[in-house]
Structure 1
Amino acid sequence: MTSELQNLHNVWLSNRTAQSIPVHQISFDDLSNSIISTGPFYFYIIDFYDMTLSHVSPAIAEIHGYNPETVTFNDILGAIHPDDIDFVAKAEAASTNFFYNKVGYAKMLSYKTSYCFRFQLENGEYALFNHQSLMLSLDENGGLGKSLNIHTRIDHLSNLNTYKISFIGLNGEPSFMDLSLDEDNQNLTEFSKREIDIIKLIANGLNNAEIAEKLFISILTVKKHRTNILAKSDAKNTAHLIKNCILQGFI
């Protein structure tokens, strides 16, 4: 194992559970339904206790050329572009810091973590992928158990990586988009569930009147939300906002 991959492993090893924790509360069908895809993708469940994989999607063979029955976690990590491994390690460390020091580790089960990096394809070329992870189990001390990881090819949408990380709230939790790894993120930009609902409706082509009717709010309230959303996201316009949200797996 290279020193870069070892540094990445160390992020998880220092926070993993002391034993494998089964996931009883979520069915695999529910997990599959939680996947947001904007391009070719595959998924798997990683057990951080022993770094074993399960429920590996057959699509990994088409994308990376790996046999879903025999592929290992190190095989997948080894396909990361060498120039992006350091970023991935920093993103994973930033994710740990966010949950343990900002919102509380118990909230980890109600968020998807999202960022992008380059992956090697079966033909040896590299393409930009979006990585989303959803923690499925923790121990009583917040040790990492099992996680659903989803890797989606997005180079048809963009070839430029922002090198930022997003935390997508589930079950009514707020979301945080495009956080820089170079900052301590003391002033987190928070997107409420209502704002995320409006973003999704905009992406579906609804105008202000239709959104107001759908959410049982006034058109003026919708306009205020849209103004606040653009200001928070630092997006140039709605099209820029929607593109960024798609790349980060918000919608």
Structure 2
Amino acid sequence: MIRLVLTDDHAIIRDGIRSLLRDEPEIEVVGEAANGQELLSLLPETACDVVVLDLNMPGMDGFATLGRLQEEYPAIKILVLSMLDHEQYVAQAMNAGALGYTLKNTGRAELIHAINTVAAGQPFLCTAIGLNMLRKLQNSEGSAADTRTPGSLSKRELEVLRLIAEGLTNAEIADKLFTSKRTIETHRQNIIEKTQAKNTAALIKYAVSSGLLVE
């Protein structure tokens, strides 16, 4: 069971998240706070695994709260849930200790995936932010040629790469291709090695530049 504390100055946002998670058996909302100070007052009496944290709050905002959480509760995982989508804020939050970053317009499935990913100690960026960064990366690189060719990937690896570019998780790809999650993880590692991509955004860039997203 993932014990969750919601921290946002808008009660309607907290209520909305509670409603989205109500039928999720592995996630329990154990507390709420309207700003960082309320959160820090709550935590000594509330066992918590993940804090869902807004950044723009009155009093102690999310950035100040991140610093305090790192000092006083380093074991708690932090998922930022914000309307701020500029990469400057994303980088600042991640550097301050957030493990994940998603936007308030994210869907239920992606929010649940984000919570589970962060709770497992893995970093997470929502699809919208990843694609936004990818577009900016493409624009900045302009006409830089990519010397890698799709011919170096097997047919199954190409299928997996297309599904990665669509934002599917390893488990979702495994279900779609009727195979195991471990097999998909192996394919993903092979794709990374063959394309020399360092992360998912780079993989998507490779798929786009190679024309692999066009059926």
Coarse TM-score class (shorter-chain normalised): 0.3 to 0.5
Structure number with the higher strand fraction is 1
Q: TM-score, normalised by structure 2?
A: 0.33
RCO comparison, higher one (Cα < 8 Å, 6+): 1
Q: TM-score, normalised by structure 1?
A: 0.28
